[in-house]
Amino acid sequence: MDLYERRCHLLMRAYPPRFRESRGGELLSTLLDLQEPGQTRPSLRESLDVIRSGLAARLRDRPPFWRWYLYRSFSVRLPPKYRMWARDDIQGRFYIFRRYFGPLGTIFYATGLFVVIVFDKNPPRALGITLFLGIAYLIRRVGARKIRRRELAKYDLDLGGSPIRTQPGKDRSR
């Protein structure tokens, strides 16, 4: 893989994973066809166009704010229309962090740390409590694979993100 192709792959990260899986080869071949002899990176115009289109593709399939908020804060299942968006989110790099430090989690942890640091007159104790919260987070992080598996099962997906084939006569709808 040459330098130009690596930079094209980097640009393609603006698109959601489901798009890159299905049409990433087409996009890459188009970008490679646009390469001039000796060119080491896509032009600024091409780069901005790929990024703009990728962000538009990400925003197009995103759930509305109120559904997203319920999903993120209370683990409410999204409608089938947003199933693949949920898959991309659950398989994303920082999912466990987003899940536990989401809208309500951030308020909870920030309030706890504020109370401990401001109202505790004993700094070593405050540091110990802060470390305890960090260790608790790491313990939760260890169970990330189990959490991902459970969340993907809500949407009838396996750990790899592929749809689970249901057995005839078994209704998996909820």
Task: Give the C-alpha separation, 63 to 47, whole Å.
Answer: 27
pLDDT for position 73: 79
Question: Which pLDDT tens digit goes with each residue over 91-117?
Answer: 888 787 777 666 666 666 667 667 666
Bridge partners, 157 (sequence order): 163
**Rounded average pLDDT over 12-41:** 92
The end-to-end CA distance of the chain, in Å, is 46
Task: Give the C-alpha separation, 21 to 19, whole Å.
Answer: 5
Q: What is the pTM of this model?
A: 0.67
Residue 7: pLDDT band (50, 70, 90) is: very high
pLDDT for position 94: 78
Q: Confirm if 63 and 83 have CB atoms less than 8 A apart.
A: no
Q: Does residue 78 carry a pLDDT above 80? A: yes
Q: Does residue 142 carry a pLDDT above 90? A: no
Q: Does residue 14 carry a pLDDT above 60? A: yes
pLDDT for position 67: 93
Q: Kindly report the backbone phi and psi dihedral angles of residue 157, in degrees, each rounded to the nearest multiple of 5, phi listed first.
A: -125, 145
pLDDT for position 70: 87
Q: What's the chain's Rg over C-alpha atoms?
A: 21
Here the contacts of 30-35 (C-beta below 8 Å, separation 24 or greater) are: 32/4, 32/5, 32/8, 35/4
